[in-house]
């Protein structure tokens, strides 16, 4: 299933009288690379968090300054009303988008969408951090499917145990417009076993096209190359078809030749949209992983698992907070009605602040009354709005 890369032999913690096995030179280099990647990822995450915090603070400050500079109570009231109307329109647009997305997904489930299954029966072979990575990849699959003009009919099968526990922690997971089954795909599609096709890099058959009558299975396994060939073996033992994407016909992979679950799924969505494999590959595969287009028969082996080599700006490995914010923007119920109700409460607070401001302006012994009163009336609204805009539908 995975590439023919050297498998890292992790060091076993030494006990009393025991010696830690020495790592090979290749294993040490790989470990050092992973540590550098983890450090860069942590630094990017911290920098992004600080950037968003500073952006929230800047916009809050600008709003407060704009209110304080308003020439009259009426002007302030107009500013607040305009802000509320803008938010109302945004909530309305999101409601329309959710409705359109639900309709597309409904049509896909009724037969218009390509059937794709994420096989989640490998949880017992993964470490906790790998299950976490897979959970994030599933989140991305669901989000990108909802945004697609031609979404797939997406299934999660074998969704039980530890895997189900992780998925249940996703905000709004119970409302996902998706097929979920605790049973294996063989049971879920027992009357259509002949239409099942397991996508695996080790298959001999190369896909030329996607067949709407077929049900394509993507192995949900994040294993860092520990379980080579497991999906092909599984398909063979179950007597179902297997195939691989025709990536070798179009690309010569320049570095790691491993694709994540969400990348494979997005490639399939893009192909359904364009009917062009090259366009789909170039749209999804990070530039750092691909070389020039290939016209020859060289085959770049592609797996469906994650090698942990997270690319900045791409949904590979653990998704960044910004990735999740982007893909889940509007996916979950954003509480728009509650947000508008809160605006009414905020209006009362603002009127109280205006009265305090007017009283403070006449007190020569307290020249700072205006500056203190204005933030007190708008800070809660500004912070709530900016936190909403930064975190709506995302996960920290």
What beta strand segments (E) does the chain contain? 115-119, 153-157, 179-181, 196-199, 215-219, 241-243, 251-253, 290-293
202 is catalytic: no
Cβ 81 vs Cβ 120: under 8 Å: no
β-strand pairing of 115-119 with 153-157 = parallel
Q: How far apart are CA 307 and CA 313, in angstroms?
A: 17
Cβ 306 vs Cβ 319: under 8 Å: no
* Of residues 221, 138, 145, 130, the one with CA closest to residue 173: 138
Query: What is 137-170 written as a DSSP string?
Result: HHHHHHHHHHH-SS--EEEEES--HHHHHHHHTS
- Within 10 Å of residue 120's Cβ, how many Cβ atoms? 31
Residue of 119, 223, 306, 309 marked active site: 223
Q: How far apart are CA 81 and CA 63, in angstroms?
A: 13
Q: How many residues does the chain have?
A: 396
> CA geometry: angle at 394 spanning 331 and 266, to 5°?
60
Instruction: Give catalytic residues, as residue numbers.
Output: 223
């Amino acid at each position: 299933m995975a590439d023919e890369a050297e498998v890292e032999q992790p060091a076993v913690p030494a006990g009393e009288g025991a010696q830690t096995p020495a790592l090979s030179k290749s294993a040490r280099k790989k470990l050092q690379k992973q540590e550098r990647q983890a450090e860069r990822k942590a630094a990017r995450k911290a920098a992004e968090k600080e950037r968003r915090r500073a952006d929230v603070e800047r916009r809050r400050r600008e709003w407060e300054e704009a209110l304080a500079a308003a020439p009259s109570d009426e002007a302030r009231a107009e500013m607040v009303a305009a802000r509320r109307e803008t938010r109302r329109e945004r909530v309305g647009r999101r409601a329309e988008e959710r409705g359109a997305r639900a309709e597309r997904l409904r049509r896909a489930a009724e037969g218009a969408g390509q059937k794709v299954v994420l096989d989640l029966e490998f949880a017992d072979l993964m470490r906790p951090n790998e299950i976490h990575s897979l959970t994030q990849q599933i989140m991305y699959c669901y989000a990108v499917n909802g945004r697609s003009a031609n979404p797939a009919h997406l299934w999660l099968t074998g969704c039980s145990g530890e895997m189900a526990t992780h998925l249940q922690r996703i905000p709004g997971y119970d409302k996902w417009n998706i097929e979920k089954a605790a049973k294996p795909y063989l049971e879920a599609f027992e009357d259509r076993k002949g239409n099942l096709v397991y996508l695996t890099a080790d298959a001999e058959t190369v896909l030329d096209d996607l067949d709407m009558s077929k049900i394509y299975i993507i192995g949900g396994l994040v294993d860092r190359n520990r379980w080579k060939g497991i999906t092909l073996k599984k398909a063979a033992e179950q007597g179902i078809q297997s195939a691989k994407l025709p990536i070798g016909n179009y690309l010569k992979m320049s570095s790691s030749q491993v694709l994540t679950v969400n990348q494979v799924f997005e490639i399939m969505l893009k192909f359904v949209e364009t009917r062009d494999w090259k366009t789909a590959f170039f749209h999804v595969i990070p530039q750092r992983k691909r070389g020039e287009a290939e016209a020859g028969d060289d085959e770049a082996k592609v797996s469906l698992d994650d090698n942990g080599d997270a690319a900045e700006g791409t949904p590979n490995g653990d998704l960044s907070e910004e990735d999740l914010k982007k893909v889940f923007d509007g996916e979950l119920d954003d509480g728009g009605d509650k947000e508008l109700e809160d605006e009414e409460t905020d209006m009362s607070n603002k009127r109280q602040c205006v009265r305090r401001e007017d009283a403070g302006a006449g007190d020569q012994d307290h020249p700072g009354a205006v500056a203190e009163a204005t933030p007190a009336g708008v800070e809660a609204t500004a912070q709530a709005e900016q936190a909403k805009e930064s975190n709506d539908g995302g996960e920290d």
